[in-house]
Structure 1
Amino acid sequence: METAEIRDVVFVNGAVRLAGSLGLPAPSRSARAGVVLVGGSGPTDRDNDTFFPPLRHHLLNAGIAVLSYDKRGVGASSGDWRAATLTDLATDASAALDFLRSQPEVQARTAGFFGHSEGGWVVLRAATARDDLPWVVTNSCPGVSPAVQERYALANHLRETHPGSRADTESTLALYDRLVEAGRRDADFATALRLVDTAGRPPGLAYYWADLDDRLWTFLKRKQDHDPTTDLVGLRCPHLAFFGGQDRVVPVADSLHVLGAALCHAKRPRRATLTVEVLPEADHRLQSPGTTEPAPGYLDKLTRWLLQH
């Protein structure tokens, strides 16, 4: 029985060397479409932890070629994602798409982007810079800014880990707000550290603060007020947006409002249709909560839409 082929590949974006995995359907089947998978926040590799492998397997079985890659500075890729802007990461995604389209097994006009979480912001930015995309898919991509999204996630974390401690929750969120304001003033990491120390380093803040250092603080300052609305309005291709109804990381209702407003904007091209799928029982990764299994219907809905477009 023929199986899909998955091989290590390398491509470049300027001075950055990006390493990834290219999956091609079984040799007897030409690729019916191609997709670049772009991972979420932090040091995400080509598998986005454990999220991408089952997605890759399903897409390959549907005859769809798949390329995913280590974020710059992660795994076998050079560079440093913490020194990058979202636009830099978008040009990495665009270089990945060009590489995928250069493969003889892939029909160039069929290939587009899939971005998970922060990767959604990345692929929306990459999509608005191109005129040749057939479609773009975002998966749990916030319609709000990173600062608003992180506050929502932190609030949920505090309520779930410190139930009944309303005063502690509010004081930790107030500290978070002070850190965001410090970032807007371009305060250095030492200043941010003093704010946290003065507040007594509340344990609940570790959800947001635990891994912060000078370079990561600088990265967060740079992106915290990113507004995806401009890219949503500038889309020139069909857009499929997935959300999980049990997502505790992204404010889904607020994100849907932003997507709807962008869709109705006078400057949004008519070709840029919007399809939204909210799976009521799915979490941030569109999995059934407490499991690593894709939510029922998720993968079938994804492949059906891709092959229709």
Structure 2
Amino acid sequence: METARVRDVMFAHGAVKLSGSLGVPGPERRTGAGIVLVGGSGPSDMDNGGYFPPLRQRLMAAGFAVLSYDKRGVGRSTGDWRAATMDDLAADAAAALDFLRAQPGIRPGAAGLFGHSEGGWLALRASTARDGLPWVVTNSCPGTSPAVQERYALANHLLELHGEGHPDIDSTLALYDRLTDAGRRDADFLTATQLVDAAGGPSGLAYYWSGVDEHLWSFLKRKQDHDPTADLVGLRCPHLAFFGGADRAVPVADSVHVFAAAACHPARSPRATLTVEVFPGADHRLQARDSTRLAPGYLERLACWLADHTGTAR
């Protein structure tokens, strides 16, 4: 008897070739539904640093074909994500969805996108850009711009590093603000480096600045003021948004407010319902704090919501 299987795949978006992993349930579990998992920021691979395998396993058990892929320039994928725009990366996610929909047995109207963190922005943009998507799921996706989100994450990191009231917190955040302003002026990498050096290269800034080179600085400048609001208002399909209540990287309360305000916008399609699930005590990866275990009920809630929106049996 044929069983569930996961195989390596390759698909193209223009001149870029993307390597991926396609999981197909055994015939007794197949529903014709499918999902593309879109990874987070940085050089995310098809497993998103180990976060996607348990999602893949649970979704395949629920009858979904599951596709994830190496970001351009990662693994066997060609290109360079640092040279890309958010539109380029969203188009990669759309190409992944087209590839999945073209697989035998997949019902095109039952295949959608799941985006984690930065991947949520990409999934929203890809979903807004086309008709016919049955749903979109975002996971720890900020409702703010990257610049605001990164400042929030840096502030929490500095608080953990130094303790409340430490003078390095305010000075390091002020340096971050100067770097953000420099990015808006399209300052070159040398100028940005001089700002960091003039401030003495505070150790806490490494959370944001470590590994930044000329290529990454160019990407950060392009990305920093990305605003997901227009994509949220332009959605034409149901949206499930997951958050961890103890996420130190994303301003959850502010993000929920933005998502809800967009859902109430008069231009929003009546098909674009919003479901928000906040798991108290869970972190950015929906894991229990200081644990690698996913929050209780998270995978079950994801599978059940998808089943309800694809017409598949639970």
Report the TM-score when normalising by structure 2. 0.97
Q: Supply the AA of the counterpart residue of 2:103.
A: Q
Q: Which residue of 1 aligns with 2:278?
A: 278
Alignment of 1:1-309 (within 5 A): 3-164=3-164, 166-309=166-309
- How far is the alpha carbon of 1:93 from its aligned partner? 0.5
Partner SS for 2:150: helix
- How far is the alpha carbon of 1:176 from its aligned partner? 0.2
- How far is the alpha carbon of 1:260 from its aligned partner? 1.0
Q: Supply the AA of the counterpart residue of 2:167.
A: A
Q: Which residue of 1 aligns with 2:312?
A: none
- How far is the alpha carbon of 1:287 from its aligned partner? 0.8
Partner SS for 2:48: coil
- How far is the alpha carbon of 1:164 from its aligned partner? 4.2
- How far is the alpha carbon of 1:68 from its aligned partner? 0.1
Q: Supply the AA of the counterpart residue of 1:161.
A: L
- CA shift digits 1:32-87 (9 cap, x unpaired): 42000000000000000010001100111111110000000000100000000111
Contact 2:282–2:289, Cα closer than 8 Å, also in 1? yes
Contact 1:281–1:288, Cα closer than 8 Å, also in 2? yes
1: CA distance between counterparts of 2:78 and 2:132? 28
Q: Supply the AA of the counterpart residue of 1:127.
A: S
Q: Supply the AA of the counterpart residue of 2:82.
A: R
Partner SS for 1:49: helix
Structure 1, gaps ≥5 residues long: none
2: CA distance between counterparts of 1:254 and 1:3? 44
Partner SS for 2:50: coil
2: CA distance between counterparts of 1:50 and 1:285? 10
- How far is the alpha carbon of 1:268 from its aligned partner? 0.5
2: CA distance between counterparts of 1:270 and 1:303? 23
Structure 1 window deviating more from structure 2 (102-111 vs 92-101): it is 102-111
Percent of pairs with identical residues: 71
2: CA distance between counterparts of 1:268 and 1:113? 19
Q: Paired residues, what number?
A: 309
1: CA distance between counterparts of 2:264 and 2:108? 30
- CA shift digits 1:195-221 (9 cap, x unpaired): 000000000000000110000000000
Partner SS for 1:266: coil
Partner SS for 1:11: strand
2: CA distance between counterparts of 1:291 and 1:53? 16
Contact 2:155–2:173, Cα closer than 8 Å, also in 1? yes
Partner SS for 1:72: coil
Question: Could you say what the CA RMSD is over the residues aligned between the two structures, in angstroms?
Answer: 1.0
- How far is the alpha carbon of 1:105 from its aligned partner? 2.6
1: CA distance between counterparts of 2:164 and 2:274? 40
1: CA distance between counterparts of 2:303 and 2:33? 10
- How far is the alpha carbon of 1:262 from its aligned partner? 0.4
Contact 1:30–1:106, Cα closer than 8 Å, also in 2? no
2: CA distance between counterparts of 1:281 and 1:172? 28
- How far is the alpha carbon of 1:31 from its aligned partner? 3.1
- CA shift digits 1:247-269 (9 cap, x unpaired): 00000000011011101111001
Contact 1:115–1:121, Cα closer than 8 Å, also in 2? yes
Partner SS for 1:272: coil
Q: Supply the AA of the counterpart residue of 2:35.
A: V
Q: Supply the AA of the counterpart residue of 2:263.
A: L
- How far is the alpha carbon of 1:10 from its aligned partner? 0.4
- How far is the alpha carbon of 1:27 from its aligned partner? 2.8
2: CA distance between counterparts of 1:216 and 1:102? 34
- CA shift digits 1:121-144 (9 cap, x unpaired): 000000011101000000000000
